[in-house]
Structure formats: structure tokens, C-alpha cells
Amino acid sequence: MDAQQEQVQSWLQRPGEPHKWFIRFERYKLLGSRRSLFTAYQHEREEAGKPHTRQGAPQSWRNASIKYEWESRAQAWDLEQIEIETAKWEERRAILREKEWQVSTSIVARVEEMLKFPLAAITRTHQDGDTTIQTEIKPVRWSLRDAPTMMDTASKLARLAAEMATSRGHLDVDNMTDAEIVELIKKELGTSPASSGKPAALPADSSTNQPTDNEQRSA
């Protein structure tokens, strides 16, 4: 163990430090915010079943605490515990941030997939030689107003993961037109911290859901 490590771990038993006094130092050290020589002395007497009538720690305790630097060693141990606890919470926060990021990207991917499907059944007709082929595209169970809310949630999770501010204006989608919602989704897919790469293209005329010349809408 080098000198620097010895200094950092100064709370360990020192060469020549009697075991009896090191045990008493350990008792003193573990008192934390209630730490005092008299309290450590009282606890030792109580555990031994001995009465204590003194108003302070014996002089022998005072001498040992000075000789073996109890106060500074206990403070060094306190700092070590703070660093250990801080490292634990930093690791927990990192795990949580990663989960938040994964969930946010999953939500964005889900919204992009949702936008690829119509809100109503569409029958597409095309000719293959003398054969007329009809393809029915069934709608998924979602509302256009679901997408902005999901994007808002994804953005908040992503911002939490990236340790960015999460305060954003409330999305009042009930008072927005479909066209406004689509524009909002386009903007979110392009600027959301959870969005990566080029945003998925929205279907043409998705704001009005109008079929093309070769499409017939069925209820």
C-alpha cells in the first residue's frame, strides 16, 4: 500500500495502535452524526452492563483520541462513504437514463409505424392485364391525436435521459385540426432528441385522408 492509499484509508488500524483502542475508535467512527467521545464511552459501558455516572469521557479516551487522530480518521471515513454512495447513485441514474432513452426511442418508432397506416379502411384497385385486383388495407386502432401525446412523452423521456430540461408547453390536441396535428408530428419527428436518422415520410394528404384516383374508401 503506497503512502497516498494509506492516507486515504487512514481509518484502518495503524501499526502499533492497540487493538483495544482501535475497537473503541471503530465504535466512535460508526456513530456518524452522533459522534462524540462521551457517547462512544457510554455505549461501551452499556454493552458491558456497567453503569456510567461520569459527565464526560475519561482522560484515557481523550489521550487516545488525540494520539491516534480519531477525529480526522473518522472524517476521512465519512468522505469515503459519501463517495461510495454517490458512485452507487450515479450508476443507478445511468441505468435509469438508458432505460428512459430506450423507451423514448421505442415510442418514436411506434409513432412512425402508426403513421404508415390509414385511419380508415382503404381499398386499392389496379389492373394486372385482364385481371382487376383489389387490395384492402385495414386501419389500425389509433387516433391521429394519439401521436402528439406519444411524441411528447417520448421527448420528455429522452430529455430526462439526456439530462435536459423537460418543461414544455401543454399539447391541446383537442382544439387542433388534423392538418395542424400532422405538421406538429412532422416537426417532432425531425427535432425530438429521441429521433435518430431521417424521419419517416408521412403519407401524402394524410391530413385529410383523401384516397387517390385509384382508391375507394370504405367505412
Tell me the pLDDT tens digit for each residue of 167-177. Answer: 555 555 556 66
Tens of pLDDT, residues 20-30? 999 999 999 99
Provide the domain count of the chain: 2
Residue 134 counted as domain residue:
no
Query: What pLDDT, on a 0 to 100 scale, did the predictor assign at position 177?
Result: 65
| Residue 62 contacts residue 21 (beta carbons within 8 Å) | no
Question: Do residues 103 and 30 share a domain?
Answer: no
Paired residues of 126 in beta bridges: 133
Whole domain around residue 14: which residue ranges? 3-68
Question: Do residues 8 and 56 share a domain?
Answer: yes
Residue 11 counted as domain residue:
yes
Question: Do residues 153 and 213 share a domain?
Answer: yes
Residue 136 counted as domain residue:
no
Question: Do residues 103 and 189 share a domain?
Answer: yes
Question: Do residues 198 and 153 share a domain?
Answer: yes
Query: What pLDDT, on a 0 to 100 scale, did the predictor assign at position 52?
Result: 75
Residue 80 counted as domain residue:
no
| Cell numbers standing for residue 158 | 429522452
Question: Do residues 35 and 107 share a domain?
Answer: no
pTM of the full structure: 0.51
Q: In this predicted model, which residue has the larger pLDDT, 69 or 181?
A: 69
Question: Do residues 111 and 197 share a domain?
Answer: yes
